[in-house]
């Protein structure tokens, strides 16, 4: 592994030592000296946070009729945003958990912020089912609570499964992330100069001291959590897809959805990892820790996931035809030539067309181009979710009830607001917590013999 | 509205207080611009249309803030803790009134001057729902869409509230003083220079009062203005006679541009008889056949077995051709009708003999009317399927509006009292009524609204609503019935009888005694019986026997019109001449064929649209006789080519609801009282106007949605609904639930449904369904629980039209229920798919998963249930149905409140609910009895009999949702000799 | 390096951990108990009325029948509140000058109704019907409590859904022969269980249908 | 102030492992090693017993799933049976989905809380922090601690042994 061959660049570039690694990563947080464009970008994101707050206030004051939904298409961007964010949330856990289980060393530099990304994406995603509700202030009725109206959730509803899955996923991701943070928090605690920082990181570090006994148990449980998170991550997006497949609406009712949604989640998740990692490694000059190898691998996973998604598109269309169901067939035809056809073809171009560029190594290792492709796929995946949500009910069983929904400023206000909030959270995370796992990079550095 | 039983004594008092507040408060507004700024208008609009309120300038943010606070309070779970409302009993409780129990009164509602009997449900003195009176010949238990809205117009906050002198509020006493002066002047001059302008009326009391006035003031003139009047028919017999049709006897019916199912005072009775004659449940059943020749698409044409769309000017030649063919003469050349068609028709008519029936549209020329009579006479049908009576609306008058204007122009008239009419809006273009009226010394206007005429009047006196007044009225067959008030006048309105009494010098009258006096012949028991029954017994007109002259009195068809485009005027089915323009239910009720709401459009045929290169919503300029209007075009399959249908009733901006609606005013193109105009020029604008419709797709896409067959096919295969339809699965993974007690179910006979929309309107009235306004309708947010789908099949220029009422199917394997995360929609023991509004959090998953898309969502705050915030229109709410808040799903409940009421009654009496005891609102309103509802577990229930018909099928049954609502496939009775329109082209 | 935290930090940490567990438990307990407590339900808390009407006096001491004032109770959804006239049938003879009754006399004179404060109320979306309960052997007392002991009327039960459902699921224990429903302090006979079993059959009561949502929500 | 032990600092993990192995062979039992990242060999050398946490995780998972499934069963069969969409009251397939999620949640909580409990965390004040040389501040150092309570502990001897094993510094740690 010591040689960096042309085919497979090394996980870490150059030679490092432990004080250098912990110092470089820790100082991003502790010195507080961040590049000016960091704050510019954060300010822009903060404007979007304000937009989100305004949009939510407006939505709650006026009602869900303020954005584009109607009858027959009673679900709209709140659901597609939800699915999109949850999808983005998947890559983090996958990188952390699955690559940990597979003992992939290249996980180390990117797992921390990928997990953070998961948490923030899930937080954004969790917002949408509530905003989606006609009476959002009663969202807690989805919980089994000992109330005086003696009412229970209706357990057969996929929305209740969703609630359980998202809550579990958010909690498990948080625990997993926090456990991974513990040793690094201890590093920050010891490096901190100010009393406030010492107390802050000290309290969070829980008195971690790196005892061999602790490491032994820690590793077992961390591994077990990874093992739990892996089926969880698959189940979560499968359950999200069941929101659709459980319905009898044409275009929703499809058995391909669970794997297809999971693959779509990975595709969009890795696209978002790249969208964050490429500027991050450049802005903080950590190209030697987050190397081209990481970017290259993520791009390869993207194309793998993307091809499964493409297969999903094909099989969806094929089974609509093969089922012989006139409703399914008509819906699929309408998707391609109906009122939402422009979106459909844009989606295919982005998710299937642009994706193919990643077969070329030179494109994969060209950071600006890779960044552009990642952004394009993020957009494509959002459109895919929107198309799935709206085309089915807009062309379902009774033609008399056919109709389309519109997109209003509020749809976009909330979407872009949530994107801004997500990035604002990412920025805060980078400012407050180590964005790269110190102890694992040190471990990799030692194992790979990259120590000075 | 409160739903709490104990709260009810309060409501009567509330209304009383409301009445006072409305009568005294509120500034009087001059124009729409002025009122748009008033707080009152704003409050009304906010209450009724919150989204519209958003578009108003300088919207107070208080409401928004309150909502936010409300939301946060609810979040804290405190919303349920509000306590200590007040509860207000009566001071003197009326004897018949038990709070919580509705009282029903028989009365009569008027439509174009004719009476249709109604039973009105009243809660603590608050009329909330109109039903048909089964004993009344014009209703026979049914209602139409407009009658349902009577309760809404009653509580309309825009109604005129106070007498106005020169536009300023004045007291009724002042009015009486001015009238006293007039009366003494008239008494001296024998009414010289005075004139009354009345509307169409059949009121015997009114007629007698007019006669009395004429006797008192011999020089007083009486004019009649009725914009929707049809030309005086039957000049054949010296005095006018009105035809009455007996569809229960008719076997072959030919309509010469007559929309007898949708228009005319006898439409409900006709529809009942017509449908009854076509009820087929068994291959051996017989069915009447209807040929319709029409110049605009109507629901009668949609119900026809053979339909021919022709230009309005061609109706005469068709009539002439029919007459000729029947008498064996060679068909006239140039007849727009295919010879084979005519031959088949004539053979059918001849075969039916005295059971044949030819109907001429009441707006048709004297020639067509006479021809129809002559043909009926020749077939022996006169006296059997057609009877002639003295017209109930006959009134001795000195002329029409034109004569009045002329007289004013001559200076012969200087004082006019306008009773009810609004000539300034409905006058033909060739009359300058404004100029004529402006030159008057005194113009008195009496009306429900402060309309255009009222603005011009020196005195405006608010009229009582028909639910507030004592009066009498005749039905289409002459049957007299009484109009009795359900509530004290809300705004101190005066009835027309009171006003006439004032003009006659009687200043101290009460409306009851004026009517009672006229019926002095009835003793007290007879009077009470007439009030209770809703009709004066044995008052129907007797048929007059006549002989039709062979030469039709010398009538000849008019010379053939050129090839130019023609206009066919129609009255809007709901707004009529615009008098109901302020009724939001009617504005929002889709028109039967076009499904257009909140406006009208110029209807054209697909071929004409193609020739003129115009598309839906494209604005065209229509010029005729020197006047022109801009109107959005709308393509209607089956519309006659080279013809434009324009409807009256829109384009009025008086009243806060009417101001919201769009559309053109067709009166601008009308020269006189004609219903057809020729020589029309069309110019395209390169702009478009929105036309709001509730159904965007017209074709069934080859799906077995409305299953239909000709009678012959039904006889060969009674189970035709199973043919070519996907089989319904019998197996299920889930064990069936048992419904041991009742199992409510509905059957809808598609053969009987004529698409008249009465059911939709009745459902809206019964279930507190909020109107949402044009903006929201355009966005697909309309709330009707029951919709009537209209599909076209066959060639575009002569399609078959199908109507299908779609309420909730109450599926036993309801897809909506399993996806609701909070148990807000679940099944009950009697198989209802219940919707629990207060549990609903608004995920809308149920609607997504409903294959019938019958669920409706409160996207915005469409109506307020805060009693202090909601306007007077909350008075119309049914207290037994929750008013739904924003963010809540709702849908058809099979009128669960009615089921509950009957169930409780039956349980108190410790018995089963009898068949026919529970009647849903849609079923009750339906003129053709297309809807049957009942307990499927009762072997002899009517609904079970209907469902056992061979053509019974469930919509989308292949989805295995096991609907409780099923349909009886549509059976038509085309003549086998005429080729059926090809079904290959599907819309 | 020096210690960042002092020796008691460990104790503080333990305290915080166990303390927050305890706080959570207590909060949950409050969340369960509070909505059911008299504090929020208003049970046993008389409201100030324009006229301090005493059921204790009218029912307990004078023995006036419930239906004298609440005349819709057997036939209507609403039990009805007495019109001012009903009060004045007696009070035009008795206590004609009592200050306490001044609002009643004023009401009759002015025609303006007395505004009582509602004691027993359910939300607007709950449709309660008195007649069916009375006819099926659910006594006034069962829901309204011993009004003949109330100098000022107060709520006797929570009237929340949990409470309603308690009886709708298992109506037996709250039934009595319909002729006794207006009786206060009714003493069940010895064979009451047998009577109740019979009542369920005789009155055709089907508890399995009584928890349907539309029974109360329409 | 009593003595907690002796803390030896090593530059890299190999030195630590070698030192630990030596000390172990010399019969020291009460010792601990500290490293910035897990060093695999130490488990065997220090004879750290195999943790039973996996069983705790399993138990947590089963408990989570069982409790939630029981709650669902109770709600649909006992507390408020409702006919929703004509499906059986006990519709197990959807209930399993929720139980699965609850199982994962239970397992994760059991694992996380279990590892904290087993490791005695949070423990903000610990004798090893008294060692001046013990810090993560400069990144990776490797520490071996011989507790004073070890029967073989002899102040000078032990220090000498550690120094000979290549410790950069050896320091006494106060309790």
Give tens-digit pLDDT for D80-89.
899 998 888 9
List the domains of chain B with CATH numbers. Answer: 5-81 (no CATH), 164-231+397-514 (3.40.50.740), 242-389 (3.40.228.10), 565-693 (2.40.40.20), 708-855+891-972 (3.30.70.20)
Position A8 scores a pLDDT of 56
Helix (H, G, I), strand (E, B) or coil at A31: coil
* Inter-chain touch B830–C76, beta carbons under 8 Å: no
Per-residue pLDDT averaged across B583-609, rounded? 94
d(CA B330, CA A346) in angstroms, rounded, equals: 66
Position A209 scores a pLDDT of 86
Q: Which two tokens stand for residue C88?
A: 């004045």
Per-residue pLDDT averaged across D22-34, rounded? 86
Strands B627-635 and B618-624 come out as: antiparallel
**B430: confidence class by pLDDT, cuts 50, 70, 90:** confident
For residue B5, pLDDT over 80 is answered with no
Strands B289-294 and B306-309 come out as: parallel
Measured between CB atoms, which of D76, D116, D134 is closest to A155? Answer: D76
Position B30 scores a pLDDT of 29
Give the DSSP H or E segment for B749. strand B744-749
| φ and ψ of A439, to 5 deg | -70, -35
pLDDT in tens, B775-813: 999 999 999 999 999 999 989 888 999 999 999 999 999
Best probe of the D interface among A143, A191, A212, by most D CBs < 10 A, is A212
* Inter-chain touch A149–C162, beta carbons under 8 Å: yes
How near does any CA of chain D get to the CA of B937, in Å?
A: 18
List CB contacts (< 8 A) between D88 and chain A. Answer: none
pLDDT in tens, B735-747: 888 898 899 999 9
Q: What is the largest CA-CA distance in chain B?
A: 91
* Inter-chain touch A161–D123, beta carbons under 8 Å: no
Note which residues in 230-289 of chain B have CB less than 8 A from chain C. Answer: none
DSSP letter, residue B725? S
3-state secondary structure A401-448: HCCCCCCCHHHHHHHHHHHHHHHHHHHHHHHHCCCCCHHHHHHHHHHC
Give all chains having 3 or more CB-to-CB distances under 8 Å with chain A.
B, C, D
d(CA B477, CA B389) in angstroms, rounded, equals: 7
* Inter-chain touch A155–D98, beta carbons under 8 Å: yes
Cis status of the peptide bond prior to B382, with omega within 30 of 0: no
For residue B6, pLDDT over 70 is answered with no
pLDDT in tens, A234-269: 899 999 999 999 999 998 988 889 999 999 998 999
Per-residue pLDDT averaged across B19-25, rounded? 42
d(CA D86, CA B127) in angstroms, rounded, equals: 39
For residue B695, pLDDT over 60 is answered with yes
For residue A308, pLDDT over 50 is answered with yes
**B465: confidence class by pLDDT, cuts 50, 70, 90:** very high
Give all chains having 3 or more CB-to-CB distances under 8 Å with chain B.
A, C, D
Please report, for residues B48, B145, C53, C86, the alpha-carbon distance to residue B652 in angstroms, rounded to integers and kept in the order given: 19, 20, 56, 51
d(CA A218, CA A239) in angstroms, rounded, equals: 30
pLDDT in tens, C127-157: 999 999 999 999 999 999 999 999 999 999 9
Higher-scoring residue by pLDDT: C42, A337: A337
Give the DSSP H or E segment for B800. strand B800-806
pLDDT in tens, A349-363: 999 999 999 999 998
Average model confidence (pLDDT) across chain D = 87
Position A422 scores a pLDDT of 93
Stretch among A94-98, B838-842, D120-124 having the lowest mean pLDDT: A94-98
Contact between B565 and B608 under an 8 Å Cβ cutoff? The reply is: yes
Name every residue whose Cβ is closer than 8 Å to that of residue A87 and which is 6 or more positions away in sequence: A237, A261, A264, A265, A266, A267, A268, A269, A381, A385
Instruction: Let me know the angle formed at the C-alpha of B380 by B375 and B386, rounded to the nearest 5 degrees.
Output: 75
For residue B654, pLDDT over 70 is answered with yes
DSSP letter, residue C186? P
pLDDT in tens, A129-152: 999 999 999 999 999 988 888 789
Name every residue whose Cβ is closer than 8 Å to that of residue B611 and which is 6 or more positions away in sequence: none
* Inter-chain touch D137–A191, beta carbons under 8 Å: yes
DSSP letter, residue B471? E
Position B330 scores a pLDDT of 61
List CB contacts (< 8 A) between B50 and chain A. Answer: 62
For residue B727, pLDDT over 60 is answered with yes
Position B29 scores a pLDDT of 30
Per-residue pLDDT averaged across B199-225, rounded? 92
d(CA A61, CA B51) in angstroms, rounded, equals: 12
Per-residue pLDDT averaged across B710-727, rounded? 89
Q: Which two tokens stand for residue B376?
A: 């009926």
Contact between C71 and B89 under an 8 Å Cβ cutoff? The reply is: no
Of B235, B191, B251, whose CA–CA distance to B215 is shortest?
Answer: B191
For residue B426, pLDDT over 70 is answered with yes
* Inter-chain touch A191–D71, beta carbons under 8 Å: no
Q: Which two tokens stand for residue C43?
A: 């049970």
**D18: confidence class by pLDDT, cuts 50, 70, 90:** confident
pLDDT in tens, B870-909: 777 788 899 999 999 899 999 999 999 999 999 999 999 9
Of A417, A371, A388, whose CA–CA distance to A45 is shortest?
Answer: A417
d(CA B492, CA B463) in angstroms, rounded, equals: 8
Name every residue whose Cβ is closer than 8 Å to that of residue A432 and which is 6 or more positions away in sequence: A29
| Residue percentage of chain A with pLDDT more than 90 | 48
pLDDT in tens, C143-196: 999 999 999 999 999 888 989 999 999 998 999 998 899 999 999 888 999 999
For residue B19, pLDDT over 80 is answered with no
CA atoms within 13 A on the CB side of B910: 11
Contact between B450 and B30 under an 8 Å Cβ cutoff? The reply is: no
* Inter-chain touch B838–C125, beta carbons under 8 Å: yes
Q: Which residues, listed in sequence order, are joined to residue B472 by a DSSP beta bridge?
A: B482
How near does any CA of chain A get to the CA of C45, in Å?
A: 20
Best probe of the A interface among D28, D36, D81, by most A CBs < 10 A, is D36
d(CA B481, CA B494) in angstroms, rounded, equals: 20
Q: Which two tokens stand for residue A80?
A: 């597609």
Position A345 scores a pLDDT of 95
Of B9, B30, B13, B29, whose CA–CA distance to B21 is shortest?
Answer: B13
Give all chains having 3 or more CB-to-CB distances under 8 Å with chain C.
A, B, D
Of D61, B898, B447, B411, whose CA–CA distance to C214 is shortest?
Answer: B898
Stretch among A165-169, B968-972, C91-95 having the lowest mean pLDDT: C91-95
**Burial letters for A41-76: b for 16+ Cβ neighbours within 10 Å, e otherwise?**
bbeebbebbebbeebbebbbbbbbbbbbbbbbbbbb
Helix (H, G, I), strand (E, B) or coil at D82: coil
d(CA A75, CA B217) in angstroms, rounded, equals: 70
Position B563 scores a pLDDT of 80
d(CA A222, CA A210) in angstroms, rounded, equals: 15
Q: The pTM is what?
A: 0.90
How near does any CA of chain B get to the CA of C4, in Å?
A: 41
Alpha helices in chain D (DSSP H): 13-25, 41-45, 53-73, 92-118, 155-164
DSSP letter, residue A143? S
| Residue percentage of chain B with pLDDT more than 90 | 63
Contact between A413 and A55 under an 8 Å Cβ cutoff? The reply is: yes
Number of H helices, E strands in chain A: 16, 0
d(CA B238, CA A339) in angstroms, rounded, equals: 62
| φ and ψ of D130, to 5 deg | -70, -20
Name every residue whose Cβ is closer than 8 Å to that of residue B390 and which is 6 or more positions away in sequence: B239, B241, B242, B478, B541, B544
Stretch among A102-111, B106-115, B183-192, C78-87 having the lowest mean pLDDT: A102-111
For residue B1, pLDDT over 60 is answered with no
Note which residues in 726-745 of chain B have CB less than 8 A from chain C. Answer: 741
Stretch among A420-429, B383-392, B452-461, D132-141 having the lowest mean pLDDT: D132-141
Q: Order of strands, edge to edge, in the sheet holding B289-294? A: B306-309, B289-294, B252-256, B356-360
Position A413 scores a pLDDT of 93
List CB contacts (< 8 A) between D124 and chain A. Answer: 202-203, 206-207
d(CA C207, CA D4) in angstroms, rounded, equals: 73
How near does any CA of chain A get to the CA of B691, in Å?
A: 15
Among chain A residues, CA nearest to C35 = A148
Strands B565-571 and B676-688 come out as: antiparallel
Of B352, B401, B397, B399, whose CA–CA distance to B378 is shortest?
Answer: B352
Position B753 scores a pLDDT of 95
d(CA A286, CA B376) in angstroms, rounded, equals: 99
Helix (H, G, I), strand (E, B) or coil at B452: helix
List the domains of chain A with CATH numbers. Answer: 18-139+168-447 (1.20.1630.10)
């Amino acid at each position: 592994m010591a040689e960096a061959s042309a085919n497979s660049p090394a996980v870490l570039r150059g030679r490092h030592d432990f004080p250098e690694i912990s110092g470089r990563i820790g100082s991003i947080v502790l010195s507080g000296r961040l590049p000016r464009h960091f704050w510019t970008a954060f300010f822009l994101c903060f404007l979007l946070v304000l937009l989100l707050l305004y949009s939510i206030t407006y939505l709650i004051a006026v009602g869900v009729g303020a954005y584009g939904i109607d009858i027959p298409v009673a679900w709209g961007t709140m659901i597609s945003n939800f699915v999109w964010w949850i999808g983005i949330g998947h890559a983090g856990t996958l990188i952390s958990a699955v690559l940990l289980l597979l003992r992939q060393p290249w996980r180390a530099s990117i797992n921390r912020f990928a997990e953070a990304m998961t948490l923030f994406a899930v937080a954004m995603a969790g917002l949408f089912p509530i905003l989606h509700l006609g009476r959002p202030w009663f969202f807690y009725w989805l919980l089994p609570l000992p109330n005086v109206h003696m009412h229970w959730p209706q357990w057969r509803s996929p929305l209740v499964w969703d609630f359980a899955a998202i809550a579990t996923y958010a909690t498990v991701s948080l625990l997993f992330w926090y456990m991974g943070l513990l040793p690094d928090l201890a590093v920050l605690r010891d490096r901190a100069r100010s009393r406030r920082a010492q107390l802050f990181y000290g309290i969070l570090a829980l008195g971690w001291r790196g005892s061999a006994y602790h490491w032994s148990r820690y590793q077992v449980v961390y591994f077990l959590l990874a093992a739990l998170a892996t089926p969880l991550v698959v189940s979560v997006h499968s359950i999200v897809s069941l929101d659709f497949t459980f319905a009898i609406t044409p275009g929703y009712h499809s058995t391909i959805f669970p794997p297809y949604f999971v693959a779509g989640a990975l595709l969009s998740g890795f696209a978002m990892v790249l969208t964050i990692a490429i500027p991050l490694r450049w802005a903080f000059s950590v190209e030697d820790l987050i190397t081209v190898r990481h970017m290259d691998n993520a791009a390869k996973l993207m194309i793998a996931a993307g091809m499964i998604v493409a297969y999903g598109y094909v099989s969806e269309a094929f089974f609509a035809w093969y089922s012989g169901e006139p409703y399914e067939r008509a819906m699929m035809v309408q998707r391609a030539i109906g009122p939402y056809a422009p979106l459909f073809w844009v989606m295919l171009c982005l998710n299937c067309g642009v994706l193919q560029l990643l077969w070329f190594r030179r494109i994969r290792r060209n950071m600006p181009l890779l960044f552009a492709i990642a952004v394009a796929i993020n957009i494509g995946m959002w459109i895919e979710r929107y198309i799935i949500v709206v085309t089915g009910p807009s062309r379902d069983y009774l033609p008399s009830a056919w109709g389309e929904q519109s997109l209003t400023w509020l749809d976009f206000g909330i979407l872009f607001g949530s994107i801004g909030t997500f990035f604002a959270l990412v920025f805060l995370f980078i400012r407050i917590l180590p964005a790269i796992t110190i102890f694992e990079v040190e471990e990799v550095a030692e194992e790979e013999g990259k120590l000075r | 509205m409160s739903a709490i039983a104990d709260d009810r004594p309060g409501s009567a008092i509330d209304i009383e207080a409301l009445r006072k507040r409305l009568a005294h408060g509120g500034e009087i507004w001059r124009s729409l611009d002025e009122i748009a700024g008033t707080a009152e208008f704003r409050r009304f609009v906010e209450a009724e249309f919150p989204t519209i309120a958003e578009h108003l300038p300088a919207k107070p943010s208080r409401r928004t803030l309150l909502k936010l606070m409300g939301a946060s309070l609810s979040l804290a779970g405190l919303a349920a803790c509000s306590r200590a409302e007040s509860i207000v009993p009566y001071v003197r409780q009326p004897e018949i009134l038990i709070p919580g129990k509705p009282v029903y009164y028989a009365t009569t509602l008027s439509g174009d001057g004719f009476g249709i009997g109604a039973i009105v449900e009243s809660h603590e003195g608050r009329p909330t729902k109109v039903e048909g009176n089964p004993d009344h010949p014009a209703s026979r238990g049914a209602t139409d869409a407009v009658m349902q809205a009577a309760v809404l117009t009653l509580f309309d906050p825009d109604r005129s509230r106070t007498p106005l002198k020169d536009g300023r509020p004045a007291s009724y006493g002042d009015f009486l003083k001015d009238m006293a002066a007039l009366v003494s002047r008239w008494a001296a001059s024998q009414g010289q220079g005075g004139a009354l302008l009345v509307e169409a009326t059949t009121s015997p009391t009114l007629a007698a009062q007019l006669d009395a006035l004429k006797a008192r003031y011999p020089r007083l003139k009486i004019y009649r203005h009725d914009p929707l009047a049809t030309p005086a028919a039957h000049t054949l017999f010296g005095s006018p006679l009105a035809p009455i049709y007996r569809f229960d006897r008719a076997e072959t019916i030919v309509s010469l541009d007559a929309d007898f199912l949708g228009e005319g005072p006898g439409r409900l009775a006709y529809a009942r008889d017509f449908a009854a004659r076509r009820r087929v449940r068994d291959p051996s059943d017989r069915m009447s056949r209807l040929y319709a020749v029409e110049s605009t698409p109507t629901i009668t044409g949609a119900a026809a077995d053979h339909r021919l769309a022709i230009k309005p000017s061609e109706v005469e030649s068709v009539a002439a051709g029919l007459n000729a063919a029947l008498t064996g003469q060679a068909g006239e050349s140039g007849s727009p009708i295919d010879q084979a068609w005519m031959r088949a028709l004539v053979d059918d008519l001849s075969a039916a003999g005295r059971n044949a029936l030819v109907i001429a549209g009441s707006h048709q020329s004297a020639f067509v009317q006479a021809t129809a009579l002559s043909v009926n006479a020749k077939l022996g049908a006169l006296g059997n399927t057609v009877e002639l009576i003295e017209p109930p609306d006959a009134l001795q008058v000195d002329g029409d509006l034109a004569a009045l204007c002329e007289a004013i122009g001559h200076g012969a008239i200087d004082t006019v009292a306008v009773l009810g009419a609004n000539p300034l809006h409905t006058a033909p273009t060739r009359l300058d009524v404004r100029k004529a009226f402006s030159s008057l010394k005194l113009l008195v206007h009496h009306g429900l609204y402060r309309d255009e005429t009222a603005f011009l009047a020196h005195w405006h006196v608010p009229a009582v609503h028909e639910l507030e007044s004592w009066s009498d009225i005749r039905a289409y067959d002459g049957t007299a019935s009484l109009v009795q008030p359900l509530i004290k006048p809300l705004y101190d309105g005066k009835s027309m009888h009171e006003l006439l009494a004032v003009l006659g010098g009687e200043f101290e009258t009460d409306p009851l005694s004026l009517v009672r006096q006229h019926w002095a012949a009835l003793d007290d028991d007879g009077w009470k019986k007439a009030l209770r029954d809703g009709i004066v017994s044995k008052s129907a007109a007797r048929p007059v026997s006549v002989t039709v002259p062979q030469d039709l009195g010398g009538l000849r068809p008019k010379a053939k019109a050129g090839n130019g485009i023609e206009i066919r005027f129609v009255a809007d089915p709901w707004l009529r001449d615009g008098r109901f323009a302020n009724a939001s239910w009617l504005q929002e009720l889709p028109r039967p064929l076009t499904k257009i709401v909140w406006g009208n459009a110029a209807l054209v045929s697909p071929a004409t649209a193609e020739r003129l290169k115009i598309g839906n919503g494209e604005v065209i300029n229509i010029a005729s006789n020197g006047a022109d209007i801009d109107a959005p075009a709308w393509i209607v399959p089956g519309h006659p080519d080279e013809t434009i249908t324009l409807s009256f009733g829109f384009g009025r901006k008086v009243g806060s609801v009417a101001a919201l609606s769009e559309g053109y005013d067709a009166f601008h193109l009308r020269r006189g009282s004609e219903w057809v105009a020729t020589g029309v020029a069309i110019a395209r604008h390169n702009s478009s106007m929105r036309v709001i419709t509730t159904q965007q797709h017209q074709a069934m896409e080859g799906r077995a949605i409305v299953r239909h067959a000709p009678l012959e096919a039904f006889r060969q295969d009674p189970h035709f609904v199973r043919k070519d339809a996907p089989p319904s699965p019998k197996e299920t993974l889930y064990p069936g639930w048992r419904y041991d007690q009742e199992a409510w179910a509905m059957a809808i006979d598609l053969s009987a449904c004529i698409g008249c929309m009465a059911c939709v309107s009745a459902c809206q009235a019964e279930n507190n369904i909020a109107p949402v306004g044009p903006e929201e309708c355009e966005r697909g947010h309309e709330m009707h629980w029951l919709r009537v789908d209209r599909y076209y099949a066959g060639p575009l220029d002569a399609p078959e039209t199908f109507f299908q009422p779609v309420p909730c199917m109450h599926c036993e394997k309801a897809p909506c229920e399993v996806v609701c995360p909070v148990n807000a929609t679940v099944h009950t023991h009697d198989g209802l798919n219940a919707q629990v509004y207060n549990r609903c959090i608004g995920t809308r998953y149920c609607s997504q998963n409903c294959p019938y898309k019958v669920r409706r969502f409160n996207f915005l705050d469409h109506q307020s249930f805060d009693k202090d915030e909601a306007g007077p229109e909350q008075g119309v709410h049914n207290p037994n149905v929750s008013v739904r808040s924003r963010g809540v799903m709702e849908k058809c409940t099979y009128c669960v409140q009615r089921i509950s009421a009957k169930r409780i009654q039956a349980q108190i009496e410790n018995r089963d609910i009898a068949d026919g005891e529970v009647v849903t609102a849609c079923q009750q309103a339906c003129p053709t009895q297309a809807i049957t509802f009942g307990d499927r577990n009762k072997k002899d229930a009517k609904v079970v009999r209907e469902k056992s018909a061979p053509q019974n099928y469930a919509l989308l049954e292949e989805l295995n949702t096991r609907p409780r609502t099923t349909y009886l496939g549509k059976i038509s009775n085309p003549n086998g000799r005429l080729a059926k329109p090809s079904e290959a082209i599907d819309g | 390096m020096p210690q960042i935290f002092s020796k008691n930090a460990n104790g503080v940490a333990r305290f915080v951990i166990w303390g927050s567990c305890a706080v959570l438990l207590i909060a949950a307990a409050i969340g369960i108990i509070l909505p059911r407590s008299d504090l929020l339900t208003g049970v046993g808390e008389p409201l100030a009325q324009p006229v301090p009407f005493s059921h204790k006096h009218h029912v307990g001491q004078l023995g006036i029948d419930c239906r004298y004032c609440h005349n819709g109770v057997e036939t209507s959804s609403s039990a009805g509140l007495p019109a001012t006239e009903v009060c004045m049938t007696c009070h035009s003879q008795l206590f004609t000058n009592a200050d306490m009754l001044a609002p009643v006399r004023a009401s009759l004179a002015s025609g303006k109704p007395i505004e009582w404060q509602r004691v027993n109320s359910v939300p607007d979306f709950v449709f309660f019907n008195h007649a069916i309960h009375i006819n099926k052997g659910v006594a006034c007392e069962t829901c309204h409590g011993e009004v003949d002991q109330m100098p000022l009327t107060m709520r006797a039960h929570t009237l929340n859904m949990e409470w309603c459902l308690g009886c709708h699921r298992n109506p037996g224990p709250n039934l009595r022969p319909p002729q006794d429903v207006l009786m206060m302090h009714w003493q069940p006979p010895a064979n009451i269980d047998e009577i109740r079993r019979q009542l369920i059959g005789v009155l055709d009561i089907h508890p399995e249908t009584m928890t349907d949502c539309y029974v109360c929500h329409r | 102030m009593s003595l907690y032990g002796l803390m030896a600092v090593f530059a890299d993990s190999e030195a630590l492992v070698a030192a630990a192995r030596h000390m172990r062979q010399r019969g020291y039992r009460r010792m601990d090693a500290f490293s910035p990242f897990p060093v695999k060999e130490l488990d065997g050398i220090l004879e750290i017993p195999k943790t039973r946490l996996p069983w705790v995780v399993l138990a947590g998972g089963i408990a989570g799933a069982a409790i939630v499934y029981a709650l669902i069963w109770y709600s649909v069969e006992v507390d408020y049976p409702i006919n929703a969409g004509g499906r059986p009251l006990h519709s197990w397939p959807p209930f399993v989905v929720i139980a699965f999620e609850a199982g994962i949640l239970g397992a994760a909580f059991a694992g996380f809380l279990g590892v904290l409990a087993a490791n005695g965390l949070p423990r903000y004040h610990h004798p090893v922090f008294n060692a001046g040389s013990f810090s993560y501040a400069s990144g990776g150092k490797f520490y071996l601690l011989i507790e004073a309570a070890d029967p073989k502990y002899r102040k000078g001897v032990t220090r000498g042994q550690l120094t000979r094993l290549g410790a950069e510094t050896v320091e006494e740690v106060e309790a």
